[in-house]
Chain A
Amino acid sequence: MKYTALLALGAMFTGSAFAQEKIVIKGSDTLGAKMVPQLKEAYIAAGNQVDFEIAAEGSSQAFSNLLAGTADIGMSSRDAKDKEKDSFTAKGQKLVEHVAGWDMIAVVTNKKNGVRRLSVKQIEGIFTGDITDWSELGGNPGKISMYTRNTSSGTYKSFQKLAMSKRDYSPESQKLAGNEQIATEVAGNVNGIGYVGLAYAGKDGLRAIKVEGVSPKPKNKAEYPLSRKLYYYTANEPTGASKKFLDWAIHSAPAKEIITKVGFIPVD
Chain B
Amino acid sequence: MAKHFQRTGRKLLGIDRQGWIKGFFGGNATLSIIILFLICFFLITEAVRFFPQHHEKLQLHRKSGQEYVNHIITEMNEYSQLVSLTNQAYFQELNEKYALQRGISNSFEAFLDPLEDDGEDLIEALEDAEDDPEALAQAQADWRAFVSGVVEGANRADIDSFGRLDDASWAALKKAMIDYDPVEEEPPAYVTQAQQELRDGMARFEEAKNEISSAGRELKQLRQKLVKIASKVKDDAAAEESAAERKKALLAGAETMTNEAEKAAQIEQANAIVIRDEFPFAARTEEIAASKDAHKAAVAELKEKLGIAVAKLPTELSSEEASALLDQVRKAHPPFVKWLDESVAKASTWQWDRKLSFFGSAMKFFFGVDWVTNSSWHDFYGLLPLFIGSFEISLIAIMFAVPFSIGAAIYVNRLAGRWEQTLIKPAIELIQAIPSVVLGFFGIVVLGEGLRDLSQIEALSWVPGFPMQERLNVLNAGLLLALMAVPTIFTLCEDALNNVPRAYSEASLALGASKLQTVIKVIVPTAISGILAAVLLGFGRVIGETMVVLLVAGNKIALPDWSAGLGVITQPTHTMTGIIAQEMGEVTKGTLHFRALFLVGLVLFTISLCINVAAQRIIKRLGHA
Give A contacts to B, CB under 8 Å.
57-58, 60-61, 64, 67-68, 82-83, 86, 89-93, 112-114, 116-117, 125, 128-133, 135-136, 138-143, 145, 150-152, 156-157, 160-161, 165-169, 171-177, 185, 188-189, 191, 210, 215
Contact = CB atoms under 8 A, between A and B. Distances in A.
A185 B472 contact: yes
A90 B84 CA distance: 47
B432 interface: no
Interface string B526-570: 000000000000000000000000000011111100000000000
A3 B376 CA distance: 65
Nearest to B375: A168
8 contacts: A64-B588, A91-B249, A136-B87, A152-B374, A157-B374, A171-B557, A174-B470, A174-B472
Given A114-B106, A141-B92, A189 B469 contact: yes
B109 interface: yes
A27 to B, nearest CB: 10
A174 B84 contact: no
A86 B242 contact: yes
A168 B377 contact: yes
B487 interface: no
B582 A177 contact: yes
B469 A90 contact: no
A130 B370 CA distance: 17
B620 interface: no
Contact of B80 (A130, A138, A141, A168): A130
B84 A138 contact: no
Interface of B: 77, 80-81, 83-84, 87-88, 91-92, 95, 102, 106, 109-110, 113, 117, 161-162, 224, 238-239, 242, 245-246, 249-250, 252-253, 256, 321, 370, 372-377, 385, 449, 452, 469-472, 554-559, 572, 574, 582-583, 585-588
B246 A90 contact: yes
A85 to B, nearest CB: 11
Given A133-B84, A136-B84, A188 B449 contact: yes
Given A90-B246, A152-B585, 9 more contacts: A64-B586, A83-B238, A86-B242, A91-B249, A129-B80, A150-B586, A151-B583, A166-B376, A210-B113
A92 B253 contact: yes
A109 B501 CA distance: 64
A58 B585 CA distance: 9
B449 to A, nearest CB: 7
A144 to B, nearest CB: 10
Contacts of B92: 135, 141
A152 to B, nearest CB: 3
Contacts of A161: 376
A141 B253 contact: no
A129 B77 contact: yes
Contacts of A82: 239
Contact of B556 (A57, A142, A172): A172
B555 A145 contact: no
B46 to A, nearest CB: 17
Contacts of B80: 125, 129-130
A195 to B, nearest CB: 16
B468 to A, nearest CB: 10
A92 B266 CA distance: 10
A173 B556 contact: yes
Contacts of B81: 132
Nearest to A139: B162
Contact of A89 (B249, B556, B585): B249
Contacts of B239: 82-83, 86
A138 B376 contact: no
B555 A176 contact: yes
Given A132-B84, A185-B472, A150 B583 contact: yes
A171 B245 CA distance: 36
B582 A175 contact: yes
A135 B377 contact: no
Contacts of A89: 246, 249-250, 253
Identify the 7 closest CB pairs spanning chains A and B, nearest first: A92-B253, A152-B586, A114-B161, A171-B558, A90-B249, A130-B80, A135-B91
B88 A215 contact: no
B372 A168 contact: yes
Contact of A175 (B375, B555, B559): B555
B521 to A, nearest CB: 49
A185 B444 CA distance: 10
A66 to B, nearest CB: 11
Contacts of A116: 109-110, 113
Contacts of B242: 86, 90
A171 B561 CA distance: 11
A159 to B, nearest CB: 12
A86 B246 CA distance: 7
Nearest to A132: B84
Contacts of B469: 142-143, 145, 189, 191
Interface centre among A61, A135, A139 (most CB of B within 10 A): A135
A57 B587 CA distance: 11
B84 A171 contact: no
Contacts of B110: 114, 116
B471 A188 contact: yes
A134 to B, nearest CB: 9
A223 B613 CA distance: 63
A231 B400 CA distance: 49
A266 to B, nearest CB: 22
A30 to B, nearest CB: 14
B370 A171 contact: yes
A142 B321 CA distance: 12
B554 A174 contact: yes
A136 B558 contact: no
Contacts of A86: 239, 242, 246
Contacts of B554: 174
A136 B374 contact: no
A58 B587 CA distance: 10
A172 B369 CA distance: 12
B36 to A, nearest CB: 29
Contacts of A64: 586-588
Contacts of A210: 113
A258 B7 CA distance: 77
Contact of A174 (B256, B375, B555): B555
A230 to B, nearest CB: 18
A83 B379 CA distance: 15
Contacts of B587: 60, 64, 152
